[in-house]
Structure 1
Amino acid sequence: MDAFDNNNSIFICGKFQCCGTKGRQFGVYFAGMLFALGWWMFVDGLSFSSILPDRKAYAGFEDWAPGIVTTLGMFIVSLIDKEALRGSTFDEGIPWRARLFLFMGFAMMAGGFAGSVSVLVVKYIMHDLEPIDSYVGICAVVQCGLIMLSTAVLWISQDVNENQLGI
């Protein structure tokens, strides 16, 4: 019996079957859109803060680092082979290494998000800046959240068995 059989699913719309052959493709495009929107928000925050006439905080590397770390975590998570996690390979060490890298990727994403929140609090909120001056920090938190959401959507849409959808 196949592991992706309809009878084994507890969900009505298990594995995007009700979406037809376009379910996986839509998920990948939607994840890309969320990723691009996250980086666009951050660049928007940087460009907006640069035109403020009397800005009180300047964007530095500490504003860029959480987004970079979250993006690297997304790359690591997206590169993990799902079959290696299941342990269907001949080498016994492969599932262990795949799970370790998966943990490292999720830890990098969580660390990037936590870093963006801490930069927002320490650099912008604790100095009692106006919301317009702390827009870069808000955009960095939104950026990391969108990248994490993009990773979740991509992980779910890539988990679909291609033979099941007829691709």
Structure 2
Amino acid sequence: MSHPFRIPFPKLPSSATCRSAGIYTSGALFSLGFWFFVDAAVCSKVHNPSDVHIHFPEWIPLICSVLGMLIINSIEKSRLTGDRFSYSVGDGDVVWKAKLVLFMGLALVSGGLAGSVCFLILGYIVPDYPWPTLYFGVANVLANSLIALSCVSLWLSQNIEEEYTYSLSL
């Protein structure tokens, strides 16, 4: 089978400990990212004496990143590399569809990260706000970055091949 890419997918180590560590690391990164953003949102309303607060449009990059993470991690690696004869007769283009959905998920995650950077630059750096207020934009970028890293960690750890795979067919 010929691959459309010059560089094939790397073989991932097949250890249950490595898989568990990746999943736990992903959860820790995701919760830390969410904590940074929620902390900034609460501080902007409660502890911030200025008129600058986090409003709903600044939540949109985080929502896009989370949706992209859900989309990316719903795709198995075997769907991206499988040949067209490994699935049922009507699904010859499953690989193409999986790659399209993966692209949409990656676009959501990268769009969320880019959106948070835009909010930081246009909403906090250009108006030249001091540090306590600038933290709201930095926390948004940090939250989206941690969620993107969490997405990568979870996808890699979920797609580690098990050492013993049993296939039952009727």
Q: Determine whether 1:124 maps to 2:124.
A: yes
Map residues 107-118 of structure 1 onto 2, 5 A cutoff. Answer: 107-118=107-118
Map residues 1-167 of structure 1 onto 2, 5 A cutoff. Answer: 15-17=12-14, 20-88=15-83, 89-90=86-87, 91-164=91-164
SS at match of 1:163: coil
Identity of aligned residues (%): 37
SS at match of 2:130: coil
Q: Which moved more, 1:88-97 or 1:121-130?
A: 88-97
Task: Give the drift of 1:165.
Answer: 8.8
Aligned partners of 1:120 and 1:138 also within 8 Å: yes
Aligned partners of 1:74 and 1:151 also within 8 Å: yes
Q: How many residues align?
A: 152
Specify the code of the residue in structure 1 equivalent to 2:12.
K
CA RMSD of aligned residues (A): 1.9
Aligned partners of 1:85 and 1:99 also within 8 Å: yes
Distance 2:144 2:158 in 1: 21
User: What are the superposed Cα offsets for residues 67-121 of structure 1, whole Å, 9 maximum, x if unpaired?
Assistant: 0000000000000122111124332210000000000000110000000000111
Task: Give the drift of 1:126.
Answer: 1.0
Distance 2:157 2:13 in 1: 8
Distance 1:165 1:141 in 2: 40
The structure 1 segments of at least 4 consecutive aligned residues displaced by more than 3 Å after TM superposition are 163-166
Distance 1:53 1:148 in 2: 28
Gaps of 5+ in 2: 1-9
Distance 2:125 2:147 in 1: 23
Aligned partners of 1:56 and 1:129 also within 8 Å: no
Distance 2:131 2:47 in 1: 12
Task: State the match for 2:6 in structure 1.
Answer: none
Gaps of 5+ in 1: 1-10
The two structures have a TM-score, normalised by structure 2, of: 0.83
Task: Give the drift of 1:52.
Answer: 2.8
Aligned partners of 1:125 and 1:134 also within 8 Å: yes
